[in-house]
Amino acid sequence: MHYEEVLVLCLLTITRSLQLTRPKIHLIRLIDVMSTSEVNGDIDSLAASSASKYGTKFKLMTRTDQIHELQTLIRDAETSRSHFKFVADRLIRMVIEEGLNQLPHVPTQVITPTGCDYEGLMYGKGNCGVSIVRSGEAMEKALQDCCRSMRIGKILVDSDLETHEARVIFAKFPSDIAERKVLLLYPIMSSGNKVCRAMQVLKDHKVPEEHVILINLFSTPQAAQRIVREFPKLTVLTTEVHDVTPNHFGQKYFGTDHTEF
Per-residue pLDDT of 125-179, as tens digits, reads 889 999 999 899 999 999 999 998 899 999 998 876 676 677 788 899 999 999 9
Which pLDDT value is given to residue 168?
81
- In the predicted model, is pLDDT for residue 208 greater than 50? yes
Q: For residue 128, count other CB atoms closer than 10 A to its CB.
A: 20
- In the predicted model, is pLDDT for residue 47 greater than 60? no
Which pLDDT value is given to residue 134?
87
Angle 62-67-70 (CA atoms, 0-180°, nearest 5)? 155
Using an 8 Å Cβ cutoff, are 196 and 227 in contact? yes
Which pLDDT value is given to residue 16?
57
Residue 39 pLDDT grade (very low, low, confident, very high; cuts 50, 70, 90)? very low
Which pLDDT value is given to residue 163?
66
Residue 187 pLDDT grade (very low, low, confident, very high; cuts 50, 70, 90)? very high
Residue 31 pLDDT grade (very low, low, confident, very high; cuts 50, 70, 90)? very low
252-257: average pLDDT? 84
- In the predicted model, is pLDDT for residue 17 greater than 60? no
Which pLDDT value is given to residue 98?
94
Angle 259-75-159 (CA atoms, 0-180°, nearest 5)? 20
Which pLDDT value is given to residue 222?
96
Average pLDDT, the chain: 83
Using an 8 Å Cβ cutoff, are 198 and 170 in contact? no
- In the predicted model, is pLDDT for residue 258 greater than 80? no
For 140, the enclosing helix (H) or strand (E) is helix 140-146
Cα distances (Å, whole numbers) of residue 247 to 24, 187, 213: 51, 10, 22
Which pLDDT value is given to residue 148?
87
Q: CA-CA distance, 219 to 190, in Å (whole number)?
A: 6
Which pLDDT value is given to residue 22?
52
- In the predicted model, is pLDDT for residue 6 greater than 90? no
- In the predicted model, is pLDDT for residue 30 greater than 50? no
Which pLDDT value is given to residue 237?
96
Residue 19 pLDDT grade (very low, low, confident, very high; cuts 50, 70, 90)? low
- In the predicted model, is pLDDT for residue 7 greater than 90? no
